[in-house]
């Protein structure tokens, strides 16, 4: 970029995190650490106004990394997701009564968020029928098969990670870092997109745009750098 771009939606991470409220529910993109908005997570960890957060994400990062940082800083009240055992801090916090956990099968949480963004109140699914995860849920039989009702998921805030944005806020993603991010962008009242690069309108291949700018409220520049295919904190 050889000139200053006009980016109305651009904010610093600190400005963006000020929009998050104490007790908020937050959708957070990422699978493991891939496609995780590290900069925004750091900004949350460094402030005290927004705590008691309910995070809806596939997992809670790794020990001390990604969402794992918010465990150590005590910002999380509850975690909703499908795979927490890769982070021993999450298991420890749950055992000590410091963190509520709600387990949802991975495909189910993906569909629940997609439904939330599409205005669908709920759907029936066979996954988890007859298990503890089905306890308390409405059950129906279709064509001789048992199904349980799963309610859609929405949140007040979504923190997503994309590769590039244009100055309007249209987003493209990098391969598998796309994961849960596009669907989460449709299922929140406030969407904060962390990106590696911002370009002029028209520079993105229109066929590659996954998240239209109408879904994006705030754009934040990533403060990490990629080394060997992995994002690390800048020295």
Indicate the number of domains in the chain.
Answer: 1
Is 56 within a domain? yes
Give pLDDT, residue 103.
Answer: 95
Query: Which domain does 43 fall in, by range?
Result: 13-222
Give pLDDT, residue 225.
Answer: 87
Is 170 within a domain? yes
Is 198 within a domain? yes
Task: Quickly list H helices, the chain.
Answer: 13-17, 38-45, 68-72, 88-95, 106-118, 181-184
Taking the CA of residue 19 as centre, how many other CA atoms within 13 Å lie in the half-sphere pointing to its CB? 19
CATH number, domain containing residue 119: 3.40.1080.10
Is 230 within a domain? no
Question: Range with the lowest mean pLDDT among 53-62, 114-123, 219-228?
Answer: 219-228
Is 172 within a domain? yes
Is 231 within a domain? no
* Residue range 16-62, pLDDT digits in tens: 999 999 999 999 999 999 999 999 999 999 999 999 999 999 999 99
* Residue range 132-166, pLDDT digits in tens: 999 999 999 999 999 999 999 999 999 999 999 99
Report d(CA 212, CA 117) in Å as an integer.
Answer: 13
Is 82 within a domain? yes
Write down the pTM of the prediction.
Answer: 0.95
Is 85 within a domain? yes
């Amino acid at each position: 970029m050889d000139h200053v771009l006009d980016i109305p939606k651009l904010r610093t991470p600190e400005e963006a995190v000020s929009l998050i409220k104490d007790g908020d529910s937050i959708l957070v993109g990422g699978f493991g650490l891939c496609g995780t908005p590290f900069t925004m997570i750091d900004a949350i960890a460094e402030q005290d106004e927004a705590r008691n957060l309910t995070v809806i994400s596939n997992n809670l990062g790794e020990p001390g990394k990604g969402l794992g940082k918010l465990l150590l800083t005590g910002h999380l009240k509850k975690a909703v997701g499908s795979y927490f055992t890769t982070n021993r801090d999450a298991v420890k916090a749950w055992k000590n009564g410091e963190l509520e956990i709600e387990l949802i099968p991975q495909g189910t949480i993906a569909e629940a968020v997609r439904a939330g963004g599409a205005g669908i109140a709920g759907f029936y699914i066979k996954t988890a029928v007859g298990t503890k995860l089905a306890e308390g849920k409405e059950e129906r039989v279709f064509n001789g098969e048992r199904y349980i009702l799963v309610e859609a998921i929405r949140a007040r805030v979504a923190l997503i990670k994309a590769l590039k944005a244009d100055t309007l806020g249209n987003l493209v993603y990098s391969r598998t870092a796309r994961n849960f991010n596009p669907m989460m962008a449709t299922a929140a009242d406030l969407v904060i997109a962390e990106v590696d690069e911002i370009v002029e309108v028209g520079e993105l291949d229109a066929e590659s745009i996954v998240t239209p700018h109408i879904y994006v409220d705030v754009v934040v520049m990533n403060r990490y750098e990629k080394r060997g295919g992995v994002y690390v904190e800048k020295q």
